[in-house]
Amino acid sequence: MDILVEKLNYIWPFLVVITPVVFFHELGHYIVARINKVSVEVFSIGFGPELFGINDRHGTRWKFSLLPLGGYVKFVGDTNAASVKTNYDTTKELDEDETLRHFQNKSVGQRSAVAVAGPLANFVLAIVVFAILFGTVGQQYTPPIVGDVLEGSAANNAGFIAGDEFIEINGKKVSRFEDIQAIVQMNLGEELAVLVNRKESEIFIKVTPNLVDAQDTFGNSIQRPQLGISVPGISYITHEPGRAIWQALKETGFIISASGKAVGQMISGSRSTDDLGGPIRIAVMSSQVAAGGIVSLAFFLAVISISLGLINLVPIPVLDGGHLLFNFFEAILGRPLKPEIQNIGQTIGLILIIGLMVWVTGKDIFGLAS
């Protein structure tokens, strides 16, 4: 019984996080497809055998499938969930009305709008969740003032003292202590030029964060950059609706920017891939975050939604970014790429995605086992 309860503690937070994220992603595709008068055969949350579903008056099958690791919208004429065209003569077998509603018969602009709508829906979901949190519970906001300086730390060696107020880091305005933490995490071992206010005087301090031992989600030893400063406590500020939306936009933009920089660092080799994870890591983190309450889980949901949107914009065939890539070449050439080239691209993309999933899942499993 204890084992069952433990498993449920992983499953329900994972489903609470992943289901709305996937639903809104696919809903974005669906809404823009319907706006462009594209017929939709299937709207599925999950992959594999259907668990249950219903048909709407437009002929779309809305269903939940066995494996809750994603979802898809299947248009008329697609052979699979990746919106691969059956063949270039399929539309000749359809009546005139269905031919007009065939996804592959739409313009490059219309098909691109449908493709990008999924990731954009994920970003919108994150903005809405952040705005609600910032307007009700409040946004974490701690004045960027140094409380204590850890002896022997990077900040201590650079000359920071209690009471120093951060103004800028590398020319970027700092308005809260959380900004400092985020910037330090994104600049691994790099020297930072910090402008601080000290006793009504502005001074520049150059500091290089130390890499200190820490633990990841699975308790594995990793290294994190650290200045070695702290504040007296964490504060929250509640915003009025307009301000809450603006702060939500800024928070989403920052996460997108930081995620892009982190991926670039991983590609260049300056950042470890320890932070990468798959469904198992998301399940473990969901369980840990859920222990902190519904607010923490909602914030985590928004972050995962942004991550899913970004991943789908990667220009790999099978993903939304791959469709946009094919559409780009079609717009440049004035005609679609040859079916053989598209099939090769889809195959390569599928291999890359499967390989990545196997790799990150393996990392997660070994992390749990260690």
d(CA 155, CA 208): 8
Rounded Cα distance between 267 and 262, Å, is 9
Task: Evaluate whether 43 touches 64 at the Cβ level (below 8 Å).
Answer: no
* Token pair belonging to 122: 């994920």
The residue length of the chain stands at 370
Enumerate residues 6+ apart whose C-beta is below 8 A from 125: 20, 21, 24, 302, 305
Helix (H) or strand (E) holding 262: helix 241-268
Does residue 115 sit in helix, strand or coil?
helix
- Cβ-in-10-Å burial (0-12, 13-18, 19+) of 5 comes to exposed
- Residue written as token pair 């899913």: 308
- The residue to which tokens 């939304």 are assigned: 320
The two three-digit tokens of residue 307, written as one number: 């991550």
Q: Which two tokens stand for residue 144?
A: 């960027």
**Residue 144 and residue 180 in contact, taking contact as beta carbons nearer than 8 Å:** yes
Cβ distance 289 to 16 under 8 Å? no
Given 6, 26, 165, 178, the catalytic residue: 26
Quick check: is 93 catalytic?
no
The catalytic residue positions are: 26
